[in-house]
A and B are shown apart, each in its own frame.
Chain A
Amino acid sequence: MTDDELIWRIAGGSGDGIDSTSQNFAKALMRSGLDIFTHRHYPSRIRGGHTYVEIRAAGHEVQSRGDGYNFLLALGDSFARNPKEEAVYGDEEIKPLSENLDELREGGVIVYDSGLLEEDDVAELNLEERAEENDWHVFPIDLRGMAKEHGREVMRNTAGVGVTAALLEMELDHIENLMTDAMSGDVLEANLSILRDAYEMAQEEYEFEHDVRAPTGEHDEEQVLVSGSNAIAYGALDEGCRFIAGYPMTPWTDVFTIMSQNLPKMGGISEQVEDEIAAAALAVGASHAGAKAMSGSSGGGFALMSEPLGLAEMTETPLVLVESMRAGPSTGMPTKPEQADLEHVLYTSQGDSQRVVFAPGNIEEAYDQTRMAFHVAYEYQIPTILIYDQKLSGENKNVDESFFDREPNPSLGSTLTEEELKEAAHEATGKFMRFQSDPDETENGVSPRSLPGQKGGRYLASGNEHWPSGHIAEDPDNRVLQMDRRKRKIESIRAELDEEHDSQQTYFGDDSADLGIITWGSQQGTVEEAVERLNDDGHSVKGIGVSDMMPFPEQEMTEFLESVDEALVVEMNASAQFRGLLQKELGRFGPKLTSMLKYNGNPFEPGEIVEGFEIRLGGDSAEPTAQVRFEPAAGD
C-alpha cells in the first residue's frame, strides 16, 4: 500500500447519479495527469440499494482497484423507502455510510450528507468512536440542503465533488471544464455555482488535519478513460466487424450497446432479436453471407448459443462470440463478477469441439485479443470466443490515446474472390469443393470458402457431416478426413499463436523465482500488483496471466511450471476450473499447484493475494482473513 494514491469511493443508491458523477471525477483526475483505475459495485436493482464506485488515482501506473480506500463520499440513498426492521432490504438509507466503513483505511476521510443521513442513525454506528480508533476525519455536511438552495436537490452529488476537491486541495478547472462539456444552460450554471460554493465553504469552514491529498502526476501524452467493454467493441470495429446481433443481459449488454450506438453511423447493422439462439444464429447467417459478424451474451444467454456455436463449427463459418461472465449458476448474481463459466464455454455444444477461446487479462488485452479473435475466426473459419467478466467489462482505466491509433483490418480471411474462384481446382468438375479435405491441399486445415452470390462457387453448408462438396455424408473415410482436417485447424492456430505473434500470456515478477502465481482473465492486474508488492517485500515470486484457454499454451505453461517449485492458482470460482484445465492439458504438475479461490461476488484485492501467498507458500501458518478458500490440486 502506497501513500501517494487516492482511492475515492462515492457511495449511495442506484439511480442517485453515482455513475455519472464518478465518471466525470475520474476524468478530472486523469486530466490532472494521474493514472486511473475504477471499480464499480452495484446491486441488481434499478433504484436504491447499496452501490459504490471507487476511483483509484496515483502518480504511478495502477492496474487494480487496490486495497480498501481512503476517501468516502457517502450520499444518502434517496430511493430507500419505508425502512422497517423486517424489510428484506433493511435500512438502506444509512447504507452508504454503514456498509462502507470496514474497508476505509486508517487516516481516511469521510464526507457524508447530513441532509439525508439522520443524526440518530449515524449515532447508532458509533462513528465517533470508530473515527477516533482509526484516525478518520469526519465531515458531516448538508449537501442536500446546499443543492436545494441552488434549486435542484439531485445536484447534491456536485456539492459532494466540490467539498471533495477542497479537502484534497485540488483545483476546480478540470471539473468545471468537464461539466461545461457535458451540460449547458441553467443546469450547467446551477451545477457550477454549487460546485464553487461547496468548494469555498469547505475551504473556509474546516481545518485540514487529514493527510489525504490529491496526488500529482504528469502524463507524456493524451489519455483516454476506457472500459473493458469499450476495448472489446473498439477492437471489433477496427477489425471490420459491421454486424452484431444480441439480446440484452448484464454484463454483456455494455458491449452490445456500444456497438449498437456506433454501427449505424459506420454503415453497419445491429440487431436486437428475440433470444440468444437467434442472436448467434443471425451472426452465423451474416458471416456466411460475407460480413464480419459477432454476437455474445453472459452465462445464461450463452447457454442458448450452444446450438448455433456447434453449427458454426461444423459449417466452418467464421464467428466471434463474447461471453461476459457473472456469478452463477442459473441467473446467479447478475451484477457480480465470477470466473465460473470457463468450462461452460470450453465444452458446451455436442461433439468434439473445434473452437478457440481467449480470456483477456486487462483493457489493452481486451482490445488486442478481440482483434486476434476476428483474425483467427476469419482466417481459420472457426468460432472464437472471448471470455471475460463483469469486472473487466465495467472497470475503467486510462490508456494512452496512441494505443488505439491502429490500422483497420477488414480482411475476410480465407474467402475467395470471383477471380480466385475461376482459378480454383474445381473448374474441371464444375463443382466447387468447399470442404476440400485432401491433406496435401489443406495443410493448415483450412479450405477456402466462397460467398453466396459469387459466380462459380455454389455449395451447400451443412450442419450435418458432409462431402468436400458440402453434401450430407456418413461415409466413414470421409468422416475421418473431415474430422482430422478440422482438428488440424486447431493445431495450426496454436502454431501461429506460438510462432508468429508475441505470446498472449503476460509474464511478470522475478524471472528467476522458484515460486509462482498463475491467474487468468480479469484477475491479472491484481495478481501483477500483488507479485510486485511481494517482490518489494523481499520475496522472490514470478507470475503469469494466461489468456489462451483453447488451444492451450501447453509449451509456455510447461516451461513456467517446470521453472517453479510451487505455484498458487488464483481464480474467482468455487471449483478451480482453470486449474482443472491446466492439469487436463498438461497431465502433470498436480503436486505443485494450490488453488486460491474467491466466489463471494467481489473480485480479489491485491492484499488478499499477498496474504494468500504468505500463508501457502511463504511459510506463514495463519488462517486467511479474506473470504478465500485454498484447495490442493489432485495429485497433491
Chain B
Amino acid sequence: MSAFNAIGEEREIDRDEFTPGNEPQPTWCPGCGDFGVLKALKQALPEVGRNPEEVLTVTGIGCSGKLNSYLDSYGFHTIHGRSLPVARAAKLANPELEVVAAGGDGDGYGIGGNHFIHTARENHDMTYIVFNNEVFGLTKGQTSPTSPKGHKSKTQPSGSAKTPIRPLSQSLNAGAGYIARTAAVNPNQAKEIIKEAIEYDGFAHIDFLTQCPTWNKDAKQYVPYIDIQESDDYEHDINDRAEASQMMFETENKLYEGEVLTGRYYVDDESPSYQAEKQAIGEMPDEPLVERYFDEDYEWERSYDLLDRHK
C-alpha cells in the first residue's frame, strides 16, 4: 500500500479546498495581476482531478513567490531564483506529485536564468509559471529583465540601455516541450492553458502576463489582447518548431509595441520527458524513490556488497 494516500485519490474536489482557512489574505496590491494566476490555478487543479495534498507548489522570491502562501496545497517557498532546482528534484524523488513551480520575471529570467535554461533543456515533467509584469515589484519598481528598453526606474534613472529578454524564444531554444503565454486579464484562457500545462508530460512553461498597477503604471495592462488561436490573422502549426519560433519572435516584438498576443505557441508531442529518458537508460527507479523508505520489506543494498573490487 502506498504511503501517500492523497496521491491519485478519486473524488470530487471543490476549488475552495485550495483556499486556506485562517491564513492571512493576500498582500498583493489591489488590481495586481497575481490574483489572476492564483485564481486560474485554483480553478485548473480540481478540473484536472488533482487534490491539494498531491500538489507541491514551489515558488521563488518576490510578490509572485507568495503564490503558495495563498494556495492551500503542499508548498515550498524557496529563495531568489531557485524554485526550479528544488521543484525538479522533488519531482524526481516522487514523480507522482503534481509539481508546479512559479516565480517572477526577475526571479525566473534574471537570477534564476541559468536554472531556467537547464530545466527546460532537460524537459523535466513539471509546470513553470512565470509572473511577467516587466518590473521588480516587491523591491519597489526596479528595472527587470523583461522591462522595455529605455525603462526608467530608481536604479536606471536614465532609462535601461538593455534589450528585454525574449522568454518564449529562449524557452524554445533551451528545449521546453510546452510553451504558452497568457494574461491575468484573460482568465478563461489562463485556466485552460494551466490545465494543459499540468497534463503535459514534460517541461511546460507559461509566460503569464501580470500587470503591476503600483510600479509599472506606464506599462500596458495587456488589454486588448489577441488570442492567437482565436484570431484569423495568426495561423501556425503549434507542433512545428520553426513556425512556433517565428510566431514567438513576432509576439515578443509586438508586446513592446502595444500589441499583446497570447495563446499556445509550441507543443512537442514527440519527445519524452526527462524522467522517461532517465528511466529508459536505467538511471531512475520505476517506483517512486520515496515509497521505499516506508516499505518494511524492502531489502536495502549495503556497501559491504561492493567491497570485492577493493580486495
Where the two chains meet, the residues of A that have a C-beta atom closer than 8 Å to any C-beta of B are 27, 31, 222-226, 230, 233-235, 237-238, 240, 242-243, 245, 262, 264-271, 273-275, 277-279, 281-286, 288-293, 307-308, 310-311, 315, 401, 404-406, 408, 410-412, 417-418, 430-431, 451-464, 469-472
9-residue interface stretch from B241-249, B257-265, B298-306? B298-306
Q: Taking the complex as formed, is B72 at the interface, i.e. its CB lies under 8 A from any CB of chain A? A: yes
Could you say which residues of chain B place their CB within 8 Å of the CB of A308? 79, 82
Select one of A27, A264, A408, A454 contacting B53, CB under 8 A.
A454
Could you say which residues of chain B place their CB within 8 Å of the CB of A270? 283
Select one of A289, A307, A311 contacting B89, CB under 8 A.
A289
Contact B307 A404 (CB under 8 A): yes
Roughly how many angstroms separate A157 CA and B221 CA in the complex, as a whole number?
Answer: 74
Query: B60's closest neighbor in chain A, by CB?
Result: A463
Contact B72 A307 (CB under 8 A): no
Q: Knowing that A240-B293, A271-B89 are A-B contacts, what are 19 other residue pairs whose CB atoms are under 8 Å apart, sorted by A's residue number?
A: A243-B89, A262-B306, A267-B292, A269-B284, A273-B118, A279-B85, A282-B92, A285-B89, A286-B89, A286-B93, A291-B289, A308-B79, A308-B82, A418-B3, A451-B4, A453-B53, A454-B5, A455-B6, A462-B75
Contact B77 A460 (CB under 8 A): yes
Select one of B89, B94, B292 contacting A281, CB under 8 A.
B89
Contact A408 B300 (CB under 8 A): yes
Q: With A222-B311, A410-B300, A417-B294 known to touch, is A243 a contact of B73 (CB < 8 Å)? A: no
Query: B118's closest neighbor in chain A, by CB?
Result: A274
Contact B306 A285 (CB under 8 A): no
Select one of A271, A284, A289, A472 contacting B97, CB under 8 A.
A289
> Which interface residue of B89, B96, B294 has the most chain A CB atoms within 10 A?
B89
Min distance, Cβ A28 to any Cβ of chain B, angstroms: 11
Min distance, Cβ A113 to any Cβ of chain B, angstroms: 30
Min distance, Cβ B1 to any Cβ of chain A, angstroms: 10
Contact A431 B21 (CB under 8 A): yes
Query: A262's closest neighbor in chain B, by CB?
Result: B306
Min distance, Cβ B119 to any Cβ of chain A, angstroms: 9
Roughly how many angstroms separate A238 CA and B77 CA in the complex, as a whole number?
Answer: 31
Q: With A243-B289, A281-B85 known to touch, is A458 a contact of B93 (CB < 8 Å)? A: no
Could you say which residues of chain B place their CB within 8 Å of the CB of A290? 93-94, 290, 293
Roughly how many angstroms separate A522 CA and B285 CA in the complex, as a whole number?
Answer: 36
Query: B61's closest neighbor in chain A, by CB?
Result: A463
Q: With A458-B53, A458-B72, A463-B78 known to touch, is A225 a contact of B310 (CB < 8 Å)? A: yes
Could you say which residues of chain B place their CB within 8 Å of the CB of A268? 285, 289
Could you say which residues of chain A place their CB within 8 Å of the CB of B292? 242, 267, 410
Q: Taking the complex as formed, is B52 at the interface, i.e. its CB lies under 8 A from any CB of chain A? A: yes
Q: Taking the complex as formed, is B225 at the interface, i.e. its CB lies under 8 A from any CB of chain A? A: no
Min distance, Cβ A313 to any Cβ of chain B, angstroms: 11
Select one of B6, B53, B58, B73 contacting A285, CB under 8 A.
B58
Q: With A243-B93, A472-B66 known to touch, is A458 a contact of B73 (CB < 8 Å)? A: yes
Select one of B74, B301, B307 contacting A453, CB under 8 A.
B74
Select one of A289, A315, A408, A457 contacting B90, CB under 8 A.
A289
Query: A461's closest neighbor in chain B, by CB?
Result: B76
Offer 8 A-B interface pairs, CB within 8 angstroms, sorted by A: A27-B311, A269-B289, A285-B93, A289-B97, A401-B307, A453-B56, A455-B9, A459-B74
Roughly how many angstroms separate A283 CA and B24 CA in the complex, as a whole number?
Answer: 31
Contact A311 B82 (CB under 8 A): yes
Could you say which residues of chain A place their CB within 8 Å of the CB of B298? 410
Could you say which residues of chain A place their CB within 8 Å of the CB of B77? 460-464, 472
Select one of A282, A310, A401 contacting B88, CB under 8 A.
A282
Roughly how many angstroms separate A411 CA and B294 CA in the complex, as a whole number?
Answer: 9
Where the two chains meet, the residues of B that have a C-beta atom closer than 8 Å to any C-beta of A are 3-7, 9, 20-24, 52-54, 56, 58, 61, 66, 68-69, 72-80, 82, 85-94, 96-97, 114-115, 117-118, 278, 282-285, 289-290, 292-294, 298, 300-304, 306-307, 310-311
Q: With A264-B283, A455-B6 known to touch, is A273 a contact of B85 (CB < 8 Å)? A: yes
Min distance, Cβ A326 to any Cβ of chain B, angstroms: 24
Roughly how many angstroms separate A256 CA and B68 CA in the complex, as a whole number?
Answer: 34
Q: With A270-B283, A274-B114, A452-B97 known to touch, is A311 a contact of B53 (CB < 8 Å)? A: no
Select one of A243, A278, A430 contacting B85, CB under 8 A.
A278
Contact A278 B115 (CB under 8 A): yes
Contact B78 A281 (CB under 8 A): yes
Min distance, Cβ B168 to any Cβ of chain A, angstroms: 21
Roughly how many angstroms separate A412 CA and B300 CA in the complex, as a whole number?
Answer: 14
Min distance, Cβ A597 to any Cβ of chain B, angstroms: 34
Could you say which residues of chain B place their CB within 8 Å of the CB of A292? 293
Query: A238's closest neighbor in chain B, by CB?
Result: B303
Contact A461 B75 (CB under 8 A): yes
Contact B52 A460 (CB under 8 A): no
Roughly how many angstroms separate A470 CA and B24 CA in the complex, as a whole number?
Answer: 12
Contact B93 A223 (CB under 8 A): no
Pairs of residues from A and B, 10 with the lowest C-beta to C-beta distance, nearest first: A285-B89, A234-B303, A453-B4, A281-B85, A290-B290, A285-B86, A224-B310, A282-B89, A452-B74, A408-B300
Roughly how many angstroms separate A286 CA and B90 CA in the complex, as a whole number?
Answer: 5
Roughly how many angstroms separate A308 CA and B285 CA in the complex, as a whole number?
Answer: 26
Q: With A237-B303, A461-B75 known to touch, is A284 a contact of B294 (CB < 8 Å)? A: no
Q: With A277-B82, A406-B304 known to touch, is A460 a contact of B68 (CB < 8 Å)? A: yes
Select one of A226, A404, A472 contacting B69, CB under 8 A.
A472
Contact A291 B93 (CB under 8 A): yes
Roughly how many angstroms separate A462 CA and B75 CA in the complex, as a whole number?
Answer: 8
Select one of B92, B115, B300 contacting A269, CB under 8 A.
B92
Could you say which residues of chain B place their CB within 8 Å of the CB of A456? 53
Could you say which residues of chain B place their CB within 8 Å of the CB of A455? 4-6, 9, 53
Min distance, Cβ A634 to any Cβ of chain B, angstroms: 37
Could you say which residues of chain B place their CB within 8 Å of the CB of A230? 310
Contact B76 A430 (CB under 8 A): no
Contact B289 A454 (CB under 8 A): no
Could you say which residues of chain A place their CB within 8 Å of the CB of B301? 237, 265-266, 408
Roughly how many angstroms separate A286 CA and B97 CA in the complex, as a whole number?
Answer: 12
Min distance, Cβ A398 to any Cβ of chain B, angstroms: 9
Contact B289 A242 (CB under 8 A): yes
Could you say which residues of chain B place their CB within 8 Å of the CB of A431? 21-22
Min distance, Cβ B68 to any Cβ of chain A, angstroms: 6
Could you say which residues of chain B place their CB within 8 Å of the CB of A289? 56, 89-91, 93-94, 97, 290
